Amino acid sequence: MATRNESTDRPCGIDFGGTGIKAAAVDLEAGDFAADRVRTRTPDPSTPEAVAEVFVELLGQLPQSHGPVGVTVPGVVRQGVVHSAANIHKSWIGTDADALFTSATGRDVHVMNDADAAGLAEVRYGAARGRRGLVIVTTLGTGIGSALVHDGVLVPNSELGHLQIDGRAAETRAANSVRESENLSWEHWAGRLTTYYRTLEELFSPELFVVGGGVSKKADEFLPLIDIETEIVPAALLNKAGIVGAALYAAESAR
């Protein structure tokens, strides 16, 4: 185990979701965990105050990190304040999460949207590393999360899963949860994804799409079937992306 003199400045990333909370100290040079990740279930109800107590417990299990803390939230975040709460307790809406968690933990805490964190990590360390221009990172899961990164600079809270296509929010047709619930074949699902990504092409003309979410482990099954002009590749950091991206964001926000 690293001593305090060797690692106390390392930031920590916390990935807060509707069912679980995961945290790890992060080595920003490597873009990877500095030690084993710790995790626990999300409290029920998942109020900000209850979650703050869990954060304090998890940080106590990470002696490798005494630096700033980055937190992902499944919602829109503007200047540390949460403005939506699709899969978490509604009391999050309007909460100054930066201030609450900084006070509760005694650490410098910075909160961001979960898809934005994944996008930042993929651009800095993963599948989009070294790419110029506009990169769009999408996470295919319960819904569709998105991150827009231009020349390494994040444009936060894009929420492109809510884009209206044929009168419906895109994620209600093309999220991985829909593939599972409707028992769609890879080919059928890829057809829906083609419609989605073609729409993004028309609106944004990106240089690259990066596809994350748990289903990206099976990218060979569906990515080759998506018929678009833009290069599209699977995410590289997989389930580490949120924690790594949040820690990176916190470290850079604390400067």
**CATH number, domain containing residue 33:** 3.30.420.40
User: How many domains in the chain?
Assistant: 2
What is the pLDDT at residue 255? 62
Question: Are both 142 and 231 inside the same structural domain?
Answer: yes
Ranges of H-type helices in the chain: 4-7, 48-60, 97-105, 114-124, 171-174, 176-181, 186-204, 219-222, 241-253
> Range of 42's domain?
4-117+240-253
What pLDDT, on the 0 to 100 scale, is given for residue 185?
98
pLDDT digits 0-9 by tens, 29-44: 999 999 999 999 999 9
Residue 123 in any domain: the answer is no
Q: Which residues of the chain have pLDDT under 70?
A: 1-8, 255
pLDDT score of 7: 55
Q: Is residue 122 part of a domain?
A: no
Whether residues 27 and 105 share a domain: the answer is: yes
pLDDT of 64: 83
**Is 145 a domain residue?**
yes
- Whether 217 is in a domain gets the answer yes
In contact, 223 and 211? CB cutoff 8 Å: yes
Enter the pTM of the model.
0.92
Residues 149 and 45 in one domain: no
Could you report the per-residue pLDDT of 53-83, keeping only the tens digit for each?
999 999 999 998 899 999 999 999 999 999 9
Residue 242, beta-bridge partner list: none
The pLDDT of residue 3: 43
pLDDT the model gives residue 1: 40
Q: Are 244 and 159 contained in the same domain? A: no
Residues 65, 144, single domain; the answer is: no
pLDDT at 8: 60
